[in-house]
């Protein structure tokens, strides 16, 4: 099964899960990077990032190559921002129609709900094969590894 994991990570948690999954699924990875980074101050990141997510912003991304039709499975990964997808994922989804692809998704949060994010993705891609939620996985590695193993086993099921 040829798998591509497309993700955005602001502070490393989503990247950590993407790497766990890439090892388990022998998948390729594509990290999305906005041309203009978000402020990294303790408060300013929530103000600017949260506002951008609430407005469903779609920032310009650094150039990348992605051909979803070459993959049997696409996995989307995003941190939860104001309950929603982080904006770089919005840009990716505007640029690629995944309705013909098999798509799964995972979300990283700090303990809030991931439901709205998954609902946004489902609406966009027309349904998710599987989903997984992680709470700040880079600091909760044991729980993250368990959830990644569960998610991977669902995806590997024939």
Ligand X SMILES: Cc1cc2nc3c(=O)[nH]c(=O)nc-3n(C[C@H](O)[C@H](O)[C@H](O)COP(=O)(O)O)c2cc1C
Sequence-distant (≥ 6) Cβ neighbours of residue 115 within 8 angstroms: none
Q: How far is the CB of 135 from ligand X (least distance, A)?
A: 7
Binding of residue 45 to ligand X (CB under 6 A): yes
Binding of residue 11 to ligand X (CB under 6 A): yes
Contact 133, 107 (CB under 8 A): yes
Contact 59, 98 (CB under 8 A): no
Site residues for ligand X, 115-134, by CB under 6 A, read: none
Q: Which of 19, 59, 68, 83 binds ligand X (CB under 6 A)?
A: 83
Binding of residue 37 to ligand X (CB under 6 A): no
Residue owning tokens 């770089």: 88
Binding of residue 88 to ligand X (CB under 6 A): no
The strand pair at 3-7 and 73-81 is best described as parallel
Binding of residue 33 to ligand X (CB under 6 A): no
Binding of residue 80 to ligand X (CB under 6 A): yes
- Percent helix, strand, coil in the chain (nearest 5)? 40, 20, 35
* Token couple for 112: 């809030």
Q: Which of 5, 20, 21, 49 binds ligand X (CB under 6 A)?
A: 49
Query: What residue ranges bind ligand X (CB under 6 A)?
Result: 9-14, 45-46, 49-50, 79-83, 108-112, 136
């Amino acid at each position: 099964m040829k798998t591509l994991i497309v993700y955005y990570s602001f502070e490393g948690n989503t990247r950590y899960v993407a790497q766990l999954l890439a090892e388990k699924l022998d998948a390729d990875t594509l990290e999305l990077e906005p041309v203009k980074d978000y402020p990294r101050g303790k408060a300013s990141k929530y103000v600017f990032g949260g506002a951008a997510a609430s407005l469903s912003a779609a920032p310009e991304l650094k150039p990348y190559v992605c051909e979803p039709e070459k993959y049997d499975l696409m996995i989307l990964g995003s941190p939860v921002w104001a309950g929603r997808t982080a904006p770089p994922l919005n840009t990716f989804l505007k640029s690629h129609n995944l309705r013909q692809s098999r798509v799964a998704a995972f979300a990283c949060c700090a303990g809030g709900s991931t439901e709205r994010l998954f609902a946004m993705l489902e609406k966009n891609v027309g349904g998710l094969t599987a989903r997984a939620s992680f709470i700040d996985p880079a600091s909760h590695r044991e729980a993250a590894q368990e959830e990644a193993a569960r998610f991977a086993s669902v995806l590997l099921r024939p």
